[in-house]
Amino acid sequence: MTQINRLDGGQVNRGTTLNFSFDGKRYQGHAGDTLASALLANDVRLMGRSFKYHRPRGVLASGSEEPNALVELRSGNRQEPNTRATTVELFDGLEAKSQNRWPSLKFDAMAINDRFSNFLTAGFYYKTFMWPAAFWEKIYEPIIRKAAGLGSLSLQDDPDEYDKGFLHCDVLIVGGGPAGLAAALTAGRAGAQVIIADEDFAFGGRLNAETFAIGDQSGADWAATTVTELQALENVRCMSRTTIIGAFDHGICGAIERVSDHVATPASGKVRQILWRIYGKKTLLCAGAIERPIAFENNDRPGIMLAGAMRAYANRWAATPAQQVSVFTNNDDGHRTAIDLIAKGVNVAAVIDTRADAPRLADCELLAGAQVIDTSGRLGLKFVNIRLADGSKRFIECGALGVSGGWNPNVHMTCHQRGRPVWNERLAAFVPGGDLPVGLSVAGAANGEFSTAAALKAGSTQAAAALRDLGMTARAIRLPNAEDEGVNLAPFWFVKHGKGRAWLDQQNDVTVKDVKLAHQENFKSVEHLKRYTTLGMATDQGKTSNMGGLAIMAELAGKTIPEVGTTIYRPPYSPVAMGVLAGRARGKEFHPVRETPSHKWATEQGASFVETGNWLRAQWFPKPGETHWRESVDREVRAVRGSVGVCDVTTLGKIDVQGTDAATFLNRVYANAFAKLPVGKTRYGLMLREDGIAMDDGTTARLAEDQFVMTTTTANAVAVYRHMEFVHQCLWPDLDVQLISTTESWAQYAVAGPNSRKLLQKIVDPEFDISNEGFEFMACRKITVCGGLRARLFRISFSGELAFEIAVPTRYGDALIRRIMEAGREFDAVAYGTEALGVMRIEKGHAAGNELNGTTTALNLGMGRMVSKKKDSIGSSLSEREGLNLPDALALVGFKPTNNNDKVTAGGHLMARDGPVDAAHDQGYVTSAAHSPILNSSIGIGFLKDGANRMGECMRLVSPLTGTEVEIEVVSAHFVDPEGERLRA
């Protein structure tokens, strides 16, 4: 029993048979099938269970507007939930499963919900899960979470990759039906850069689904011929399997290209999907139209589908949902389904037309002025119950019913910038309004131009108009003859009958009754209706259902449809997988990595690395036998303070500041004075924000009268540069100063410790005197090293020891670290990482990021007097505010535990020895803490109210978060060498 519902003809390739499975059962289809068409060909109508009531559901549509036939694809880590069977391209080995059912699709235990439907009506969530509040977290939410959502996630990492990309064009054409293809031909032949995208794997749109001829070709053949011509044009890019998901600001559109969804696994190195950002000067929306159903009782049985979809399955995919079908319509177009299916040899029992004066167009029985009032059949349609024009009833046996309530222009994208569609009485449909996204125009059925001839003409005309706006000329193309029938329709939205449920939004299980209830409960705005009933809020955004809801609401309110108005659509046009939005930014590729010049060498040394921003910095360098990081760090600190150590400090931001006004400029960006810094000297600088809060600090060296090299903290390098450009360009644009970052140009190493000079004397070329006299504390100089390599030497110290920083061009950084370590062997030189660096700066009481934390002032940091009042600098005025200068202002001090075994913890707050522990009695907090191997004690620095005058006080350091409380003593933040004798040695 294979493909018993397969018809003759169609555009499937019978030469290629594909095996696939649905719910474990094996079937066959052909190349060119979708999962939906192949299932129908195999006489499978039941494809899923509905969201709320678990009603058996089949396919409603034949495209991405499908609300019902959502399935899980593939298995294992490639399992993907909620894909529409109507858009899933069949491939050999495809595995699909139905969703939202247990234990099986045919017997679903949750279908019990259907019996309780009276409780699950509009506003169910609002009414039910209101109280008691305590029930929310423990009871309601888990229940809702379990019941909600259709498919399930694999909970494994997606093994596939996704790209992001950028495309540019003059005209982006959205949709490859007759209007889109005519537009592409017009613009393409005119030489414009054109992108035409269609979500389908075949261009042609409805041309592939209808039997219309274009010129002397079938519609499908014309589409194929046209695409061949377009593909030969270098200036046209034809993108099938590509959905334009949104029209964003200023003409930017988003697109998802499904590169590998139609194959079992992506080829090596290839991605599954691409998220494109398309910069189109003009966008032409040729998205066609979407048919709308008529609501009647039990209109959701598998087998009941849109008439146009039924016709598409027959014409394009040579599949019929059943051997005997009927059609229910309010317009002439519905009759085409009967005509086409009869031509394919399907038995059409009757055309049921709501219009009393319906024309007889198909060669089958016509029931004019009749309505379908109910249906039966447990897991699929068996009978339709019809009320004839004379009021009598009649049952007709059929396995499928094609329903047409007319067509809605596909206005989705016209709403993405809040444009509101407007009502067109003649078409009884909303058409694009005036407020379109920038650069967007609409052609063809999407604009209410429904006939093939009208669509071709509009596509061509609108493309020419778009090019004209761009100053290009397009010659009119000769359009072939095509069908040009008008719309013959008598609006009809829902059948009034008994008490059964008539479905509007099949994905969210919203019925006519729900809309009535909402109206009864006074939800009168369409926006309220939408949210209260959830009509149109499912993943299909109500593409097939909104119109019915609006029409019913209008009728209940005694208003016209335009008076009631419409809700609007938002991006994305159809659901988008999270993976493609992430692109390659996941796992280790989440952000780029910055490596220091000594990275390779540090890796060889077995360094442990830490991420600081994008930088990877060595944290410590473990030696054999060391089992705990503290052992390594303590050893590194002792080695530096005892002899010499080397640390890569390249990551600190470096900004080259040049120009005749460079000194004046620095005077403005730093709170302290820089103008008189002599050439060959370095100075510590504190930068404030305009509100007087410390922003960044670092040392700046004057290399020449008109050249400084500023260093910033690693974290703030980018922000400081941006700030300095602001100060220059926006505040003092005529200062002669030029800024450029040189962070990466120089490999810079700190060489610190009492033997640092001796070590460097082996590296620095002998003509440069680096003795204490020849190169005093805070000196800087351009030098050469290792026999002539240009370098820079700074005598600055973060550790408090005699120390230097030496910089060479980055390409020699690897060689230099090796040379330094070799030269340092006689001094037992160590490499030290950021942890030892941190310990030593805390021992020395130097502020860093934890202290410059966005709330502290120069005064807090103990540098109040550095803020020069003799000059204008950023932040100097507001740093004088009263509130920032209170007598008990926080001051940077040090802390030691009274009991040597206790630990000072960063983040802990300081409380008086006696008294309550609460925010009102907060005295300050610890910002940085470390174990000092020199003092053999835990130490910390932080901010204490009036701290400078509280030396020796014992306080409680409490951390309610960790439940710790220790007694500490307030001490000077300068734990080591408070007089600074070592660094001047």
Partner 1 sequence: MHDLVATSPLGGPRPRTGNFGSVVISECPGWALASVAARRGKEKTMATSAKKLLGFALPGVSSLANNGTYTAFWTGPDQWMIEAPHASHEDLAEQIKSALGDKASVTEQNDGWARFDLTGTGCHDVLERLCNANTRAMQTGAVTRTRLEHLGCFVICRAKNDHFSVIGPRSSAGSIHHALTTAAKSAL
Partner 2 sequence: MIINHPLLGPRDAQEFTYLGDASLIERPDWEAEDAQDQFHDYLYLRDNPAGSHRELWFHEIGDRSWLVVTRDTTTHEITSVEMARDVARAKGRSK
10 Å Cβ neighbour count for 867? 22
The window from 429-437, 733-741, 854-862, 964-972 that contacts partner 1 (CB under 8 A) reads: 733-741
The window from 513-521, 780-788, 862-870, 901-909 that contacts partner 1 (CB under 8 A) reads: 780-788
Crossing angle of the two packed helices 512-520 and 546-557, in degrees rounded to 10: 40
417 vs 959, beta carbon nearer partner 2: 417
Considering only 814, 902, 953, 969, the residue that binds partner 1 (CB under 8 A) is: 814
688 vs 785, beta carbon nearer partner 2: 688
At its nearest, how many Å lie between partner 2 and the CB of residue 688? 12
Q: Provide DSSP, 817-883.
A: HHHHHHHTGGGT-EE--HHHHHHHHHHHT---TTTSSSS-BTTTTT-GGGS-SSS--TTTTGGG-GG
Q: 257, 229, 233, 230: which is closest to 243 by C-alpha?
A: 257
267 vs 920, beta carbon nearer partner 1: 267
Cβ atoms of 654 and 809 closer than 8 Å: no
Cβ atoms of 445 and 166 closer than 8 Å: no
Considering only 224, 815, 866, 878, the residue that binds partner 1 (CB under 8 A) is: 815
Residue 856 vs residues 57, 67, 867, 942: alpha-carbon distances, Å: 63, 57, 14, 11
21 vs 417, beta carbon nearer partner 2: 417
Rounded CA-CA distance 311/48 in Å is: 22
At its nearest, how many Å lie between partner 1 and the CB of residue 160? 11
Q: Kindly state whether residue 233 participates in binding partner 1, applying the rule CB under 8 A.
A: no
483 vs 656, beta carbon nearer partner 1: 656
At its nearest, how many Å lie between partner 2 and the CB of residue 327? 45
State the binding partner of 615 from partner 2, partner 1, none, CB within 5 to 8 A by kind.
Answer: partner 1
Q: What is the DSSP letter of 136?
A: I
Radius of gyration in angstroms for the set of CA atoms belonging to the chain, rounded to a whole number: 38
- 346: tokens are 């399907």
Instruction: Kindly list the residues in this chain that would bind partner 2 in the complex (CB under 8 A).
Output: 249-252, 279, 417, 661, 664, 690-691, 718, 722, 725-726, 729-735, 872, 876-878, 880-881
Q: Kindly state whether residue 270 participates in binding partner 1, applying the rule CB under 8 A.
A: yes
C-beta pairs of 626-634 under 8 Å, 24+ apart in sequence: 629/835, 630/931, 633/833, 633/835, 633/836, 633/839, 633/933, 634/931, 634/933
132 vs 733, beta carbon nearer partner 1: 733
- 20: tokens are 């696939």
Q: 72, 68, 67, 43: which is closest to 57 by C-alpha?
A: 68
At its nearest, how many Å lie between partner 2 and the CB of residue 379? 51
Type of residue at 533? T
State the binding partner of 880 from partner 1, partner 2, none, CB within 5 to 8 A by kind.
Answer: partner 2
Q: Which helix (H) or strand (E) holds 503?
A: strand 503-505
Q: Kindly state whether residue 131 participates in binding partner 1, applying the rule CB under 8 A.
A: no
At its nearest, how many Å lie between partner 1 and the CB of residue 717? 11
Rounded CA-CA distance 251/343 in Å is: 45
Q: Please, which residues have CB within 8 angstroms of residue 334's CB and are 6 or more apart in sequence?
A: 307, 327, 328, 351, 353, 402, 403, 404
At its nearest, how many Å lie between partner 1 and the CB of residue 783? 12
Q: What is the 3-state secondary structure (H, E, C) of 236-253?
A: EEEECCEEEEEECHHHEE
Q: Kindly state whether residue 586 participates in binding partner 1, applying the rule CB under 8 A.
A: no
361 vs 719, beta carbon nearer partner 2: 719
Q: Please, which residues have CB within 8 angstroms of residue 944's CB and are 6 or more apart in sequence?
A: 890, 891, 893, 910, 923, 924, 950, 955, 970
Q: Pattern of binders to partner 1 over 193-222, x per CB under 8 A? A: x-----------------------------
| 845-847-851 Cα angle (round to 5) | 125
126 vs 279, beta carbon nearer partner 2: 279
Rounded CA-CA distance 552/542 in Å is: 15
Q: Kindly state whether residue 745 participates in binding partner 1, applying the rule CB under 8 A.
A: yes
N- to C-terminal Cα separation, the chain: 96
At its nearest, how many Å lie between partner 1 and the CB of residue 758? 20
Type of residue at 449? E
At its nearest, how many Å lie between partner 2 and the CB of residue 274? 18
654 vs 982, beta carbon nearer partner 1: 654
State the binding partner of 567 from partner 1, partner 2, none, CB within 5 to 8 A by kind.
Answer: none
At its nearest, how many Å lie between partner 2 and the CB of residue 874? 9
At its nearest, how many Å lie between partner 1 and the CB of residue 19? 29
Q: Kindly state whether residue 786 participates in binding partner 1, applying the rule CB under 8 A.
A: yes
240 vs 853, beta carbon nearer partner 1: 240
State the binding partner of 251 from partner 1, partner 2, none, CB within 5 to 8 A by kind.
Answer: partner 2
Rounded CA-CA distance 236/188 in Å is: 6
10 Å Cβ neighbour count for 173? 35
Considering only 615, 621, 708, 775, the residue that binds partner 1 (CB under 8 A) is: 615
Q: Kindly state whether residue 902 participates in binding partner 1, applying the rule CB under 8 A.
A: no
Q: Pattern of binders to partner 1 over 639-678, x per CB under 8 A? A: -----------x-----x-xxxx-----------------
Considering only 23, 483, 484, 595, the residue that binds partner 1 (CB under 8 A) is: 595
β-pairing verdict for 242-247 and 964-971? unpaired
For binding to partner 1 (CB under 8 A), which residues are involved?
A: 161, 163-168, 193, 269-271, 274, 277, 279, 584-585, 589, 591-596, 599-600, 614-615, 650, 656, 658-661, 706-707, 734-738, 740-747, 784-790, 808-816, 819
